[in-house]
Amino acid sequence: MKTISLRFLLLFFLLSCGTSLCFGDSRDKLFYDAVRAEASGDLEQAVEIYLLILKDAHSANLHANLGNLYFKLEDYARSILHFRKAIWIDPENRDYLTNLSLALDMNGLKLHNLPSFDSSFSPQFQTSWLIGLSIFFWSGILCIASFFRLPLKGKRRWLIFSGWVVGTALLFMGLNQSQKEALTVNREVIVLNPSSPTSNETSGIPLRVFAGNGSSANTTVQTGTSLLLDLDKDGKPRVHRSQSGEKWYLVRSHSGSNKGWIQRSEFEPILDIKL
């Protein structure tokens, strides 16, 4: 029985490795196909290949490549979307931010219309802030307990204690800011024109008063605009399904001044969340 089990495990391991290598080779082949298509001037074919790759894998480089392709196709809204995705994955890459700023400018938007890009408070650093806070807090507790047993003068004791309080407060503020940015990016969507995946059109998308095509609009927002999904009391996006089966979501601007219903086909989230 042991021999059979070992053989089975060995076979399973070899099959798993072989499958991984096949998928890796397949992705590499698609990537080079996309590069060749772009080099030959077939930008739309390159976009299709990159989108196919993104069904199985995500990377900042892939999204940045897509952002560049959409920019060349003058589909600035989708260029903005993929540069935002690239920045979320790699917030310290200044080239992505520069390219995003250029895409926004070409689309008639400004960088200040989007959330903060301070990489120090990136949602990806929440764990680092939490670990730093925990280590500093409990190390400080142990040190303070030791110092107060030593024959230190009162002023020195209070200076040590004050430094620990200030350091703890700063680390807590950093963690809190990182959590706020995480909540923001979880809700952030980019408005798109649903008519064509590579469309040059920059006409506005209406934010309706009610969830339905026949509803009047509160306002109109330009494609490429960053909006936030409105949440219900359970913390989930507010959604309404029409009789024809269309999904409508309540969205608002970052300032909260504009609000309305938008179809699922008229936006894409920054993160791959299930909607």
Position 193 scores a pLDDT of 87
Which residues sit opposite 247 in a β-bridge?
Answer: 241
Please write the tens of the pLDDT for every residue from 188-204: 999 998 865 544 444 68
Q: Is the dihedral of CA 242, 244, 247, 252 positive or negative?
A: negative
Q: Is the model more confident about 121 or about 169?
A: 169
pLDDT for position 150: 61
Q: What is the pLDDT of residues 223-274, one digit of tens each?
A: 999 999 999 888 889 999 988 888 999 999 988 888 999 999 999 999 887 7
- Look up residue 224 and give its two tokens: 């490429």
> Of 90-94, 100-104, 119-123, 217-221, which one has max mean pLDDT?
100-104
Q: In this predicted structure, which of 66-80, 156-170, 229-243, 250-264 has the lowest mean pLDDT?
A: 156-170
Domains of the chain by range and CATH?
2-97 (1.25.40.10), 120-184 (no CATH), 187-269 (2.30.30.40)
Whole-number pLDDT of residue 127? 82
Would you give the end-to-end CA distance of the chain in angstroms?
A: 48
Beta-strand ranges (E) seen in the chain are: 188-191, 204-208, 217-222, 226-229, 239-241, 247-252, 259-263, 267-269
pLDDT for the residue 118: 61
Q: How confident is the model at residue 207, as a pLDDT?
A: 93
Residue 40: what pLDDT?
83
Asked if residue 250 lies in contact with residue 230, where contact means CB atoms within 8 angstroms, the answer is yes
> Per-residue pLDDT averaged across 100-129, rounded?
77
Length reported for the chain: 275
For the cut 90, the answer to whether the pLDDT of residue 213 exceeds it is no
Q: What is the pLDDT of residue 11?
A: 46
Contacts made by residues 55-64, CB under 8 angstroms, sequence distance 24+? 56/23, 56/27, 57/27, 58/85, 58/89, 58/272, 59/89, 60/85, 60/86, 60/87, 60/89, 60/90, 60/93, 60/96, 61/86, 63/89, 64/93, 64/95, 64/96, 64/99
pLDDT at residue number 116: 60
Q: Which residues contact 21 (CB under 8 A, 6 or more apart)?
A: none
Residue 175: per-residue pLDDT: 86
What is the structure's pLDDT at 263? Answer: 93
What radius of gyration, in Å, describes the C-alpha atoms of the chain? Answer: 25
Distance separating alpha carbons of residues 54 and 84, to the nearest angstrom: 15
CA 273, CA 90: separation in Å to the nearest integer? 19
For the stretch 10-31, pLDDT in tens is 444 444 444 444 444 566 777 6
Q: Look at residues 245, 243, 248, 241 and name the one whose alpha carbon lies nearest to residue 265.
A: 248
Mapped onto helix, strand or coil, the DSSP state of residue 199 is coil
- List CB contacts of 255: < 8 A, sequence separation 6 or more: none
Q: What is the mean pLDDT of residues 114-138?
A: 77
Q: How confident is the model at residue 152 (pLDDT cuts 50, 70, 90)?
A: low
pTM for the model: 0.74
Highest mean pLDDT out of 69-78, 170-179, 240-249: 69-78
- Tell me the average pLDDT of the chain: 80
Pick 160 or 52 by higher pLDDT: 52
User: For residues 171 and 174, what is the distance between their CA atoms, to the nearest angstrom?
Assistant: 5
Give how far the C-alpha of residue 266 lies from the chain's centroid of Cα atoms, to the nearest Å.
Answer: 18
C-alpha dihedral sign at 183, 122, 273, 184:
positive
pLDDT at 153: 59
